[in-house]
Amino acid sequence: MRKGQNPAKFVKDVARPQRITVALLNYIPFLSGFYAETLDVLKASLESMRKDAGLPFDLMVFDNGSCEEVREYLVNEKEEGRIQYLILSEKNLGKGGAWNMMLTGAPGDIIAYTDADVLFSPNWLSRSVEILETFPNVGMVTARPFRTPPEFYESTLNWARSNAKLEEGQFIPWQTFLEFNLSLGQTEEENKKVYAETKDWKITYRPSTAAQDVVAYAGASHWQFTAYKSTLAQFLPFDMDKPMGQVRQLDKRMNEAGLLRLMVSDPLAMNMSNTMGYLRGELGKQKVKSKAGFTKRVLELSPIKKILLAVYNKIFSWYYS
């Protein structure tokens, strides 16, 4: 039997969410080995995105079954008001499963998605939204120019040839190109050949309602993007049977739907991967090779390396699959 009146009946107003939701996906199963520095990487990512995004936003974090230390950190951030929406999944649902919940549940009309290892520069959000709102029929905007597979932005080029100024050339500076690819574990030597043999597509567009031209590059990527929630809804749900490796479904399906996939012209987002090496200034430094010690040489032998990595993967599977 009810006693008295529910105090909520006397509340006159409720909080309204921001128009933009930044949605971050995190997964740190333990804090050793590959994941030893990933909590620091996550903290750096969150600090950089909030520093000067250029537009107000609410932050949603989906934690995909991380360890206790990481969950405690995220809960504290939520209690301190630095995270507006926090979802703690008991198990790792994979990226597709997490996307299904995040991209459906985010309250904003615009969703800026990011992996948990992205370092942002000032105005990353405002620049992304400017392109999103200036160009027609935009699927997604990534806050960094880099070279992506051409087969995923054919529709973008087809539109630009008839509706904008389209230029082909080496528009991304070498150091900007190299910086990003080094963060993926590639070498400078292999990238010299790639840079020389590939090109960028620069698109300059001014709608009738705009006062000036807006420049974007063709391409985008699933690791960081800004999009309308209504647009993303067209591609849900995602049915991915592996935690990773199938995320290019979004890139492919957007292109097939005829949507524009664009990037800002400046490097306003950077992949940190699993270490703080980029912030320590280690990325891009030329390492002087010395003679490896006996143990190092033995560990690099192909049969031994293969066996040890297989053991590592098996142990990881026992604990976290």
**Chain segment 95-154, per-residue pLDDT in tens:** 989 999 999 999 999 999 999 999 999 999 999 999 999 999 999 999 999 999 999 999
Q: How confident is the model at residue 287 (pLDDT cuts 50, 70, 90)?
A: very low
Output the pLDDT for position 303: 72
CATH number of the domain within which 123 lies: 3.90.550.10
Output the pLDDT for position 284: 52
What is the number of structural domains in the chain? 1
Q: Are 21 and 111 in contact (CB under 8 A)?
A: yes
- Quote the percentage of the chain above a pLDDT of 70: 83
- Between the alpha carbon of residue 85 and those of residues 68, 91, 223, 232, the distances in Å are 19, 18, 20, 19
Q: How confident is the model at residue 267 (pLDDT cuts 50, 70, 90)?
A: very high
Output the pLDDT for position 8: 60
Q: How confident is the model at residue 44 (pLDDT cuts 50, 70, 90)?
A: very high
Q: Is 87 exposed, middle or buried (0-12, 13-18, 19+ CB in 10 A)?
A: middle
User: Within 13 Å of residue 121, how many CA atoms lie on the same side as its CB?
Assistant: 14
Q: How confident is the model at residue 280 (pLDDT cuts 50, 70, 90)?
A: confident
Output the pLDDT for position 319: 64
Output the pLDDT for position 205: 97
Residue 93: inside a domain, yes or no? yes
Q: How confident is the model at residue 292 (pLDDT cuts 50, 70, 90)?
A: very low
The 10s digit of each residue's pLDDT in 146-167 is 999 999 999 999 999 999 999 9
Residue 299: inside a domain, yes or no? no
> Is the pLDDT score of 212 beyond 50?
yes
Residue 15: inside a domain, yes or no? no
Quick one: average pLDDT of 197-222?
93
Residue 5: inside a domain, yes or no? no
Output the average pLDDT for the chain: 88
Quick one: average pLDDT of 12-38?
91
Output the pLDDT for position 19: 97
Residue 287: inside a domain, yes or no? no
Quick one: average pLDDT of 3-29?
81
Residue 286: inside a domain, yes or no? no
Residue 42: inside a domain, yes or no? yes
Give the predicted TM-score (pTM) of the model: 0.85
Output the pLDDT for position 134: 96
Residue 262: inside a domain, yes or no? yes
Domain of 235 in residue numbering reads as 20-271
